[in-house]
Chains A and B, each alone.
Chain A
Amino acid sequence: MAAGSDDASSDDHPSAAGSRSAAAGALVADQSGGGRGDDRAIGGGPIAAPPPEAVSPRAAGRSRAARSGPSALRRALASLLSILVLFALWTIVALWIDDNALPTPAAVGSSLVTEWRSGELLFHLSTTLARVIAAFTVAMAIGSAIGIRLGTSEAINRVVDPWLILLLNIPALVIIVLAYIWFGLNEAAAIGAVALNKIPNVVVTMREGARALDPEYAEMARVYRFGRWKRLRHVVLPQLQPFFAAATRSGLSLIWKIVLVVELLGRSNGVGFQIHLYFQLFDVATILAYTLAFVAVMLLVEYAVLQPLERHANRWRPTRA
């Protein structure tokens, strides 16, 4: 990108090119006025010349912006078409089988409307979402802290690693049942059990992130005497961000599935409880209505929260052509 881009950059940024000579001029003026009188001439010439190795702002950034309009629309249309095809296939199969065990999308839609009107849907969705958020927050905070520690200390890692492997391989169901038995059928046990299921995954991902920290940046931070907080915020966390994003992605989808199990086993509200209820009534349409509604909530979280956050975190990365 640096070499050979002078033509392009002077086309793209005439103002930058102009200012370069202006800056060089200022430097020359600065040199000739005041200062030590002894040795000034060497390099006077080269400074005065405008530095041609200068700017190469990416053309790619702009072309991406220009392209994003039509291509984003096309991608959205393709996704929509794909979903419509799925619903069409579903309708055909449901009509063909003609059984309560597989309702048509229309029947699911009408259950959705009924549940919405009664206020049940919103109540149970928000209850489950609140549990997902709580368990996710706890798991990410504790898992990241442990993972970073393990990634930076091989001694501690050697001690903790076997526990981690053990925890990774205990079935979610066992953790949930034990949590309810030991701590009672309460909210803390429910959220704690979900978080505990997720923590080992976060630890493993963040440990890899901590191991990949670049020592060159750490040295720079040390030379320039970055404090603890400054180092964490500007040096460490930006390097961990891709790992954090990966843990978030896999975490949310895993957590909401486990939250449903927790609700089914020991709570009296939430999507999991409702699914259990309608399972006993053999009402597949309502079961699917709750499932689709929560999937929609998670899609909203993905597109409205995660992706914008990630775009912001990655704004400094050079765009790939």
Chain B
Amino acid sequence: MNATSDASASPIVLDVDVAERTFAAADGSALHAVGALRFALQADSFTCIVGPSGCGKTTTLRMILGLDEGYTGTIELARRGPLAAVFQEPRLLPWRTVEQNVRLALPDARSEASLDELFDALGLAELRGFYPAELSLGLARRVALARAFALEPALLLLDEPFVSLDEPTAERLRALLLALWRARPTTALMVTHNAREATLLADRILVFGERPTSVLDTIELTTPREARTEADVRAVLERLHARVPSVPKVP
């Protein structure tokens, strides 16, 4: 399970080599958020970032997305193609319908059929004409997933996409995400607080340390997802707990 290095020949999609990201506060003090941060993502892999609260996980995603340019170092996207993001909040345009929100993310008019399939897969087929305010949070998150996958991104970034959902809903959405990712393979990088969620979805977990954050540990989950036993999951959770004390201890 916890093989140290996976020697697969998949090409690198993203190469992060950030030296530092510091934030200046209004009172002149500085917050050293990200230290020497190095990692790379292989094509069509699913990587989860787990780390203590406030350690710079979201900052890392924002730097990759180009929303935060205040860092020193390099972030290289090796594969051409669009980026897609699923934010903590669904960030749907409230004045556009479900379908318009998804369509607007596309660079040009794509075939109806491919969107139909996506809406069907996410159980949104009947909801295309509704406005976001008419949806529950769980449904709005599905729309955010639809928007991201519709783009067929080279790199998909997810920032705690299932936070503040009740567990059964979160579980369903995890399963949907996994199914979508298998049907439309892409390189996925997901930030999560939920260590168990990481063990379900990821084939690699990057463990981030306290500020200034860097990668403390890389856990490769080589066992296929459905073959992972409770013992495998416990082993990963224990290793995570050893690195990040805020990850709950396995009972």
B133 A316 Cβ-Cβ under 8 A: yes
Selecting from A107-115, A167-175, A223-231, the interface stretch reads A223-231
B123 A54 Cβ-Cβ under 8 A: yes
Report the Cα distance A15→B131, complex, angstroms.
18
**CB of B123 to closest CB in A, whole Å:** 4
A20 B175 Cβ-Cβ under 8 A: no
The A-B contact count (CB < 8 A) is 154
Q: Which of A13, A43, A222 has most B Cβ within 10 Å?
A: A43
Does B3 reach chain A (CB closer than 8 Å)? no
A317 B133 Cβ-Cβ under 8 A: yes
A234 B172 Cβ-Cβ under 8 A: no
**CB of A226 to closest CB in B, whole Å:** 7
Choice from A55, A222, A224 contacting B139 with Cβ under 8 Å = A55
Produce 1/0 per residue, B83-104, CB < 8 A to A: 1110101010111110010001
Selecting from B5-13, B178-186, B235-243, the interface stretch reads B178-186
Residue of B nearest to A45 (CB): B175
**From residue 276 to 293 of chain A, which have CB atoms closer than 8 A to chain B?**
none
Does A36 reach chain B (CB closer than 8 Å)? yes
Does A11 reach chain B (CB closer than 8 Å)? no
**CB of B79 to closest CB in A, whole Å:** 16
B151 A316 Cβ-Cβ under 8 A: no
Choice from A3, A44, A56, A219 contacting B175 with Cβ under 8 Å = A44
B104 A47 Cβ-Cβ under 8 A: no
Q: Inside 8 A of B132's CB, which chain A residues have their CB? A: 316
Does A38 reach chain B (CB closer than 8 Å)? yes
Does A300 reach chain B (CB closer than 8 Å)? no
Q: Inside 8 A of B85's CB, which chain A residues have their CB? A: 220, 223
**From residue 63 to 77 of chain B, which have CB atoms closer than 8 A to chain A?**
65-67
A222 B67 Cβ-Cβ under 8 A: yes
Q: Which of A51, A225, A238 has most B Cβ within 10 Å?
A: A51
Does A75 reach chain B (CB closer than 8 Å)? no
Produce 1/0 per residue, A284-321, CB < 8 A to B: 00000000000000000000000000000001111000
Interface size class of A (residues with CB under 8 A): 35 or more
A58 B134 Cβ-Cβ under 8 A: yes
Does B176 reach chain A (CB closer than 8 Å)? yes
Residue of A nearest to B137 (CB): A2
Known: A2-B137, A318-B134. A35 touches B125 (CB 8 A): no
Selecting from A22-30, A65-73, A124-132, the interface stretch reads A22-30
Q: Inside 8 A of A51's CB, which chain B residues have their CB? A: 123, 138, 169, 172
Does B127 reach chain A (CB closer than 8 Å)? yes
Known: A19-B125, A53-B169, A223-B65. A30 touches B183 (CB 8 A): yes
Does A162 reach chain B (CB closer than 8 Å)? no
Report the Cα distance A27→B182, complex, angstroms.
12
Report the Cα distance A56→B134, complex, angstroms.
6
A53 B138 Cβ-Cβ under 8 A: yes
Residue of B nearest to A223 (CB): B85
Known: A58-B134, A223-B85. A43 touches B121 (CB 8 A): no
Q: Which of A16, A53, A222 has most B Cβ within 10 Å?
A: A53
Does B1 reach chain A (CB closer than 8 Å)? no
Residue of B nearest to A235 (CB): B93
B179 A20 Cβ-Cβ under 8 A: no
Choice from B96, B97, B107, B121 contacting A26 with Cβ under 8 Å = B121
Choice from A13, A23, A39, A317 contacting B125 with Cβ under 8 Å = A23
Does A166 reach chain B (CB closer than 8 Å)? no
Does B105 reach chain A (CB closer than 8 Å)? yes
B169 A39 Cβ-Cβ under 8 A: no
B139 A42 Cβ-Cβ under 8 A: no
B226 A53 Cβ-Cβ under 8 A: no
A54 B134 Cβ-Cβ under 8 A: no
B104 A234 Cβ-Cβ under 8 A: yes
**CB of A299 to closest CB in B, whole Å:** 28
B126 A20 Cβ-Cβ under 8 A: yes
A15 B126 Cβ-Cβ under 8 A: yes
A23 B121 Cβ-Cβ under 8 A: yes
Report the Cα distance A41→B100, complex, angstroms.
33
Q: Inside 8 A of B104's CB, which chain A residues have their CB? A: 224, 226, 230, 234
Q: Inside 8 A of B226's CB, which chain A residues have their CB? A: 39-42, 44
Given contact pairs A23-B121, A39-B224, A225-B82, enumerate 9 new A-B contacts (beta carbons under 8 Å): A27-B179, A39-B225, A44-B175, A54-B139, A56-B135, A56-B136, A217-B91, A220-B85, A316-B94
Complex A-B, nearest 3 residue pairs according to Cβ-Cβ distance, in ascending order: A43-B175, A41-B226, A2-B136
Residue contacts A-B, CB under 8 angstroms, 27 given: A2-B135, A3-B136, A23-B125, A26-B121, A27-B120, A31-B182, A35-B183, A39-B226, A43-B174, A43-B175, A43-B178, A43-B179, A44-B175, A46-B171, A46-B172, A53-B166, A54-B138, A55-B139, A56-B134, A219-B65, A223-B67, A223-B83, A224-B147, A225-B82, A226-B104, A316-B132, A316-B133
